[in-house]
Amino acid sequence: MEIVILAVVIAVVVIGALGGLVIGSRKKKQLPPQAPSGTPTITAPSAEPQVGDEAETPRDEPRRTIEEVELPLVEPSASAPVVEEPVVEAPAAPEIETPEPTAGRLVRLRARLSRSQNALGKGLLTLLSREHLDEDTWEEIEDTLLTADVGVAPTQELVERLRERVRVLGTRTPDELRTLLREELIALLGTGEGTDFDRVVKTESGLETPGIVMVVGVNGTGKTTTTGKLARVLVADGKSVVLGAADTFRAAAADQLQTWGERVGARTVRGPEGGDPASIAFDAVKEGIADGADVVLIDTAGRLHTKTGLMDELGKVKRVVEKHAPLDEVLLVLDATTGQNGLVQARVFAEVVDITGIVLTKLDGTAKGGIVVAVQRELGVPVKLVGLGEGADDLAPFEPEAFVDALIGE
């Protein structure tokens, strides 16, 4: 029994040994043949350079820089859209307007003037048409004139002349009264014998420099607007204009004046807000001379007449401007609705800058047209321009006859 068991064990061992030999021979057939241990392995270079390797340049061709390499032009395909750069258009220049001619402007604006002034004219005609002109009636005539801001002295003068002529005339028809009143009012405005005023705005210097006009006045009178409208008047008369925005104390005054200038093609010289007004006025005259302009208009600050320091500065502007050339015109802008307060302003300004002419604005909004008479008597200088509305061409040369006709109506 032991012999059998031993024989089985020996058989199992022999079978296992034989199996190992078979498996080992199969593995050796699958492995590649090994080179002899003493022989080195040589690997051939690849045909193309690998990433990170530097390509070699053939010895017979010199190395070129990127600027020398000609790149092929790529034609856009028919299907691919061609992208064009956007064209940025320059802002359009403001359209230059053609101002209305100045000749006969006041006549054309007569209807507007008469609507507000008829109270004075019709009131006087009604009183003068009474059958009996007693002292009470003449006092009413005086009150009517004073209410219209004609002034005390001019009123007394007019009433005395009317009383004398009515007494000589005797009977008084409506037409005779209208003619009588018209003649006396025209004389009162300073166009009578020996009292004629030159109402032409001086814009010619007589030298080889532009005419220089300085515009002064307090805030709220329409000074900057008047300067812009005056530029239109001058352009309508065929003159080239340079504007000096020397009102540096009022916000946006320079912008406002420049807008007026651009509408008629007039250049505006300006400086920083709060800058030196005299310096800007000086530069404006300098630019006007360099450009060969006909007229330089200088808009000054609308400073209050009660501030002496500011009035002194206005005098400085005048002196600085006259280093280039003498001033040809100094226009004082007054609000016709201010009445006697306007006369106070006129006196102070006249002491500083020698006023040569007056511009009455807002004359269409008041029945106090007598301020024309009062201010002329106060300063001894003529009213040269009147503003009759808010329109761009509502500034008109003052014509006494047309003014009186509007005052008393047809």
CATH of the domain at 232: 3.40.50.300
Residue-wise pLDDT for 10-44, tens only, equals: 665 556 555 554 444 444 444 444 444 444 444 44
Placement of tokens 């900057």 in the chain:
224
H or E segment to which residue 278 belongs: helix 277-291
- Give the model confidence (pLDDT) of 282-323 as tens digits: 999 999 999 999 999 999 987 655 565 778 888 899 999 998
Q: Same domain, yes or no, for 229 and 329?
A: yes
Whole-number pLDDT of residue 255? 92
Do 144 and 241 fall within a single domain? Answer: no
* Same domain assignment for residues 152 and 260: no
CB within 8 Å of 291: residues ≥ 6 apart: 240, 242, 267
Q: Is 265 inside any structural domain?
A: yes
Q: Are residues 351 and 219 in the same domain?
A: yes
Percent of the chain with pLDDT over 70: 69
- Per the structure, the complete domain to which residue 264 belongs is given by 211-355
Residue 385: what pLDDT? 93
Residue 43's pLDDT is 44
CATH code for the domain of 144: 1.20.120.140
- How many other CB atoms sit within 10 Å of the CB of residue 265? 14
- Note the pLDDT tens digit of each residue in 218-235: 878 889 999 999 999 999
Do 234 and 306 belong to one domain? yes
Pair 191, 197: CB distance under 8 Å? yes
Of 365, 376, 271, 389, the residue nearest 332 (C-alpha)? 376
* Cβ neighbours, 10 Å, residue 204: 12
Q: Judge whether 271 lies within some domain.
A: yes
Same domain, 267 and 344: yes
Domain count, the chain: 2
Tell whether 186 and 216 lie within a shared domain. Answer: no
Asked whether residue 257 is domain-assigned, the answer is yes
The last residue of a domain, from among 332, 355, 378: 355
CA distance 253 to 126: 46
- Per-residue pLDDT band at 211 (split at 50, 70, 90): very high
Q: Do 246 and 179 lie in a common domain?
A: no
Verify that 162 and 233 share a domain, yes or no: no
SS3 67: helix
Domain membership flag for residue 319 = yes
Flag whether pLDDT at 52 surpasses 90.
no
pLDDT band at 155 (very low <50, low <70, confident <90, very high): very high
The stretch 180-209 carries a mean pLDDT of: 81
**Domain shared by 178 and 312, yes or no:** no
Whether residue 63 is contained in a domain is answered as: no
Same structural domain, 167 and 286: no
Please give the DSSP secondary-structure letter assigned to residue 344: H
- pLDDT value at residue 115: 60
Cβ atoms < 10 Å from Cβ of 277: 26
